[in-house]
Structure 1
């Protein structure tokens, strides 16, 4: 039951890009920050809620000397990460819903913890606690970067207009034949090698994710400061999405 990892990675990227046309831009901004804080040293990175390993794949192309740990609760997506990455990456199954996820890490003292479009599925109180746990696994001077759906508090009228525009673009893409999120999962779940793991995923998430938590940028910055990060701020923005960085 061989899996064509490259083909599945390409189809994952394609369906994600419908949601986020500037997906590669946010990844590039994140990796720029990693380069900045490591200053030429081989980076040690935690790809948090990393799924298929999208961030790690790009990190290792840019920095062949890097080492990365991909952590996620979804073992079906981790199958793609494990099959696509090499010995420079470790793949770990752990649930961020409990502080015990740290017990699954092969080490701590990371230069960077990177995550994208994932933590909005975590409830607010748990996310506040998670930010503190993330700080604890960073080395002094390390950086945490989260790229996700984060509106700017001061632009409610423009945000609403941008939201309508993005939905129109997505609908046009789907009408033109782009693969949808449910469609991708239906195809992936029919892959014999991962069918059982997709069923496990569906049980874990109740068939899909719970209602998402999409606070504005200010909520995140306040939570990071309360968690003890020394510096916080945005390093990238694209319409209704943003990436913040927090330095330990």
Structure 2
């Protein structure tokens, strides 16, 4: 999979792409990236990429010419232009389902804004989708772009090594992830649940499913409205909500 990132601050991506799972994915050839300073596509000698807004107001607005020229240059050999995504607080809230959808593409182009925002013609005629990582405002789109890249890259087969890791993450199943434990079996008097030490895989799966349901019910009950639940799940949730929340299975 290939990512083109258009930003005024390409140096922000050096540590991100040179560390941890991102670096490993790139070293293995599973991911390629091109971080482009779109100032290089400015049409004047001063390399200006922004200007004051028509009608007045504070801040500076990103001009359309540099971004249009950058995207058109990067995609000139593509028979079909890959999706162009704008990182924006006005965009669609980002979810795990959206990450899974984006991971099916071979290439994505990410636009990282700065200053007051984008000329509206960029939104209307260049961008395929606007994406927001939350209801708050950041200095620029670089951090949201990194969040998107991280969440998508880890879904690419071979990146994590253990494919089941991504399958059981929070939100992938529609539920929050169940509690995890490792050695020692007892620490300061706190024991790992006996079922996890039993070696009985069916019982372990059952315990994990119910713990995921319990945690989701307690912390993010809104997720249960769209989660894929079995009749057994629904019966257990009813039992939990009717005052039997102290059970340990």
TM-score (norm. length: structure 1): 0.21
Q: Which has the greater radius of gyration?
A: 2
TM-score (norm. length: structure 2): 0.21
